[in-house]
Amino acid sequence: MSEPDMSIRLRRLALPIYGPTILISIGMGAVIPLIALSALDLGATVTQAAIIVGLIGFGQLVGDLPAGALAQRFGEKRVLLAACVLEAGALIMASRTSSLAVLAAAVFVIGLSSAVFGLARHAYLSDAVAVGFRARAMSTLGGTFRIGSFIGPFVGALLIEQYSFGATYAFAAATSLAGGLLSLALPDLPAARSATVPEKRSMWSVLAEHRKVLATIGVGVFLIMIARASRTAVIPLWAEFQGLDATTTSIIFGISAGVDMLLFYPGGAIMDRFGRMWVALPAMLVMGAGFLLLPLSGTAVAIGLVACFMGLGNGISSGIVLTLGSDVAPDEGRRQFLGGWRLCADLGNVAGPGLISLVSLAFPLGAAAIVLGLVTWFGAGWLAKWVPAYDPARREREKAAV
């Protein structure tokens, strides 16, 4: 397929692929800050509230592998709609319950549905977009998620001020349903009919066959997600440790999130034109340097500058996990493989904050930031070793040189 043909196809995919992501991420961005407050209102302790918030990540972990099997069996469009309906139901249940256990179950289901939606969306886009446009398509997907997550808390704050917690949950449920309905506009792919026929091979056989990929570049993605998740956890903690109030910390985080959104499309264009390493390596080096600089910052301005610096590194790598997953996913058993791939990423998402907690038990928070910086730089070296071996942009350049 020629580049002009594919650019038309990308425009055709823009609304049904990126529209649901923006809608759902706005809704979830509005709700996620309220989950802990809802738990506290129902009588939870601070520890219990933190555990309930963490159930979203746990639900994603549990849902990753089944999501691949579901997408393989029923096709992406059906699975996308089902995930959105399930998420909307869980949000309504969370808004109306007076039971802490029911709230916890609803939050867990939200995590499950998020895993299923994310997998189906990733698998569809992997099939729909030509390799030469893959990174731009995936980085734009990551960018739309960032945009929605940036807008969401402001919408949530407005709804709480004007109405109530329940109105915010209802808004999020409505955005989930709207996203599911919009997903039905996805054009059918030539392979979509075969995707609904179950393969005889099991998910475990697919993952076992490609265990080397998961043990090499999959570990690299695990390290990327450790850096990303740790960044969002350690900056507010460090700001509080330096005595900044909640408003100042929120402003710092909001500005950093704004910077994060600036470079998602340029990052994808760089990956498509020059190769994945031109984004993966600089992003990890910048984020690692940010972790190492954080203990040297003691004022709001200094912390804000470090946060924005790390936001640049994270922003340019928007879509890198999705892109690498599509690069290494096999044609046969693609959806089952992507379930394992996303599990690697989500494990890193959980491990990052866990590493902060573990190091902070015995050492000051600044030591945790230094450890994270070193882990992130180790990840840069790991990616430098393994990403080029699977980079389709590099293979195309090598073919052209022959």
Q: Return the pLDDT at 8.
A: 38
Task: Read off the pLDDT band of 228 (50, 70, 90).
Answer: very high
Average pLDDT over every residue of 197-221: 83
3-class DSSP state of 42: coil
pLDDT tens profile 87-144: 999 999 998 988 999 999 999 999 999 999 999 999 998 888 888 888 999 999 989 9
- The CA–CA distances, whole Å, from 57 to 64, 87, 215, 255, 348 equal 11, 14, 22, 25, 11
Tell me whether the CATH fold assigned to 10-186 matches the one assigned to 200-402: yes
Percent of the chain clearing pLDDT 90 (strictly above): 47
Report the amino acid identity of residue 62: V
Dist. CA 218–CA 266, nearest whole Å? 24
3-class DSSP state of 18: helix
Average pLDDT over every residue of 298-311: 92
Left (φ > 0), alpha (ψ -120 to 50) or beta: where does 297 sit? beta
Which of 56-65, 165-174, 255-264 bottoms out in mean pLDDT, i.e. has the lowest? 255-264
Of residues 172, 145, 146, the one with CA closest to residue 159: 172
φ, ψ of residue 164 in degrees (nearest 5) = -165, 175
200-402: CATH topology = Growth Hormone; Chain: A; (1.20.1250)
Query: What residue ranges do the domains of the chain occupy?
Result: 10-186, 200-402
pTM of the model: 0.87
Task: Read off the pLDDT band of 44 (50, 70, 90).
Answer: confident
Which of 173-177, 186-190, 204-208, 277-281 bottoms out in mean pLDDT, i.e. has the lowest? 186-190
Q: Which residue has the tokens 């425009």?
A: 11
Q: Return the pLDDT at 399.
A: 56
Residues 6+ positions from 80 with CB-CB distance below 8 Å: 20, 117, 120, 121, 124, 180, 183, 186
Task: Report whether 256 contacts 308 (CB < 8 A).
Answer: yes
- The CA–CA distances, whole Å, from 280 to 145, 266, 268, 276, 379 equal 19, 13, 11, 6, 10
Q: How far is C-alpha 180 from the geometric centre of its chain's CA atoms? A: 18
Task: Report whether 136 contacts 265 (CB < 8 A).
Answer: yes
Dist. CA 29–CA 218, nearest whole Å? 28
CATH of domain 10-186: 1.20.1250.20
Dist. CA 113–CA 129, nearest whole Å? 24
pLDDT tens profile 236-262: 888 888 888 877 887 887 888 888 888
Which structure tokens are listed for 297?
A: 């910052």
Dist. CA 276–CA 323, nearest whole Å? 8
C-alpha radius of gyration, the chain, whole number: 21
